[in-house]
Structure 1
Amino acid sequence: MQNYKTEIAPGGHWSLELRRGTQMTLRDLSGGSNVGMLFYNPRNLLERYNAPDTLKCQHTFKLSQGHCLYSDMGRIFASITADSFGWHDTVCGNSHASHVVDKWGARDYQTDRNDWHQNGNDAFLVELAKYGLAAADMAANINWFSKVVTDAEGNMSLAASPSQCGDSVTLRFEMDTLVVLHSCPHPYSKATSYPQHLVGIELAIAPPVADDDECLNHCPENRRGFANNALYYLGA
C-alpha cells in the first residue's frame, strides 16, 4: 500500500530518514531524468554508501534489479527490488557549478529564482548541512536513470537512449537509512539546455524478505551482507 507521494522539481533536492522495512520508488516523470543519491546510517553518520564495495562484491559495473547497495561497514542499506530501466550509474560522480556554467551558463537563485541552474554538488551540500555533514562527508554517489557507455579508448559518456517517461526503480531498505538526493543533471549530460526533468517519489511499507528473494540470493556476498545486517539489529 502506498503511504506517501511527492515530486522533486528539476534541479531540486530532498532528504529523509527511511526506516528498515520501508521502500522507495523513484519514477521518471518526463523521460531523461537523473537522480543523484547518497546513503548514511542515521545512528552513525560515519557509515555511508560505498560504491566500490557495491560493485566489486556483486561483480558488476552497473546497478539494476537484484543488486544490493552496501555501506562501508559491509552492511546493506537497500536492495533494488524492481527496475524498469535496467542500467544505473554509480561511478561518474556529480555535477559541479563549473560543469553547469560551462554547458548552460551561469544563473543564480537571487537573480533567476526557480529558473536558476543548480548543480548536484551544491544540492547535496544543502541537504547534508541539515545533518551536520559537509563536503568531506560526500561519498561517490548513485545516478539513477543514467546509463554510461565507453568507446574503444575507454572514454565514458551517457548512452544515446535515456530513460523513458514512466520508468521506475524501487529500493527496499534493509537498514534505517538517511537518504539524500537531488534531480540535477548528470555530469556527462550533453543536453543543449539545462535539463528540466520531474521526478516522482513514492514511499510505502515493503513486503518482507522471503527465502527466495532475488536480492538475497543474487550472490554469496549478498547473503553475507544480509547476515551482517541481522547481527547489527540483533535484539532490536
Structure 2
Amino acid sequence: MIKQSPLKAEDAIYRETVDAGTYWLHTVKAGQTFRIVDLEGNQAADTLFFSAEDPAERYSAVDTIREQGNVYLSTDTVLMSNHCRPMLTITADTCGRHDTLGGACATESNQIRYALEKKNMHACRDSWLLAVTENPEYGLSKRDITHNINFFMNVPITTEGGLTFADGISAPGKYVELTAQMDVLVLISNCPQLNNPCNAYNPTPVETLIWN
C-alpha cells in the first residue's frame, strides 16, 4: 500500500549514500525510524535484520509471510523474527511492494542463471561476507546470512507458484520506511547485479536516513 511519510530529511539524525556494490551495517534503536531511498530507480537493496542483543534472532521470511498472510511486503507489514517476535514495522512506502522470496545474488547463482564466465562477478552475498569480516564486533559470521528482503525488487509469482524476475516497479526517489520494535542490526547489500535487465544493467546508489 502506498503511503507517504511525514518525516523530513532535514530532521534526520543520520544520512548516508550507499554506492552500488557496497554494504551498509548499522544499529537502529527501538523506536527509531529508518528509510531506504532508491535514488535513481529500479535498484535492489538486499537487506538482513538481526536482533542487536542476540544476532541468533534474525528476520524470518517464513514467520513474516505466515503472520501477515501475504508474500509481498508494504505499509503496515510487521517483520517477524525466527522467534516470532516483531522486529520492525513498515510505516511508509512509496514503491508499493517488496520481495522476500527471491533471495540474494551469489557468484554461484550468477553462474547458473547467466553464464559460466559470470561466476566471479561481484554479488550481494560477497558484500555481506565482507561486512561480517570487517566488523567482528557485531558477532556475525557466514552462518548468519539467511533470509533477506529485496527492497524495491519486483519478483512476481506465477500461477504455477514459481518466481519470475521482472522489470522494477520503483522509480527515482521512491522509498520505504521502517520503525524498529527492538534494537536491530541492519545489513544492506546495495546490489551490484550487472546481469539482470530489471535495473537496465546499471546498479545505482541508495540512501539511508534515521530519525529518533
User: Is TM (by shorter chain) over 0.5?
Assistant: yes
Indicate conservation of the 8 Å contact 2:17/2:208, yes or no.
yes
Indicate conservation of the 8 Å contact 1:157/1:188, yes or no.
no
Letter in 2 for 1:150: I
Distance 1:187 1:79 in 2: 31
1:37 and 1:74, CA in 2 relative to 1: closer, same or farther beyond 3 A? same
The residue aligned with 2:187 is 180
Deviations 1:3-28 (A, max 9, x none): 11111101110101111111111110
The residue aligned with 1:118 is 122
Q: 1:50 aligns with which of 57, 60, 70?
A: 60
Q: 1:155 aligns with which of 145, 159, 162?
A: 162
Measured after TM superposition, the shift of residue 64 of structure 1 is 0.3
Measured after TM superposition, the shift of residue 185 of structure 1 is 4.8
Distance 1:162 1:185 in 2: 18
2:136 paired with 1:136? no
1:190 and 1:99, CA in 2 relative to 1: closer, same or farther beyond 3 A? farther
- Larger Rg, first or second structure (1 or 2): 1
Percent sequence identity is 28
Measured after TM superposition, the shift of residue 34 of structure 1 is 0.2
The residue aligned with 1:65 is 75
> How many residues matched?
197
Q: Give the secondary-structure state (helix, strand or coil) at the position aligned to 1:136.
A: helix
The residue aligned with 1:127 is 131
1:92 and 1:203, CA in 2 relative to 1: closer, same or farther beyond 3 A? same
Mark the runs of 5 or more structure 2 residues left unpaired by the alignment. Answer: 1-10
Distance 1:63 1:3 in 2: 26
1:70 and 1:187, CA in 2 relative to 1: closer, same or farther beyond 3 A? farther
Distance 2:59 2:75 in 1: 18
Measured after TM superposition, the shift of residue 157 of structure 1 is 1.3
1:75 and 1:204, CA in 2 relative to 1: closer, same or farther beyond 3 A? same
Indicate conservation of the 8 Å contact 1:69/1:76, yes or no.
yes
Q: 1:91 aligns with which of 95, 98, 101?
A: 101
1:148 and 1:15, CA in 2 relative to 1: closer, same or farther beyond 3 A? same
Mark the runs of 5 or more structure 1 residues left unpaired by the alignment. Answer: 109-116, 206-236
Deviations 1:93-139 (A, max 9, x none): 1100134456485597xxxxxxxx52111111111232332221112
Distance 1:87 1:186 in 2: 20
Letter in 1 for 2:41: G
TM-score by length of 1: 0.76
Q: 1:19 aligns with which of 13, 16, 29?
A: 29
Distance 1:12 1:137 in 2: 19
Indicate conservation of the 8 Å contact 1:145/1:162, yes or no.
yes
Indicate conservation of the 8 Å contact 1:128/1:180, yes or no.
no
Q: Give the secondary-structure state (helix, strand or coil) at the position aligned to 1:93.
A: coil
Q: CA RMSD in A?
A: 2.4
The residue aligned with 2:89 is 79
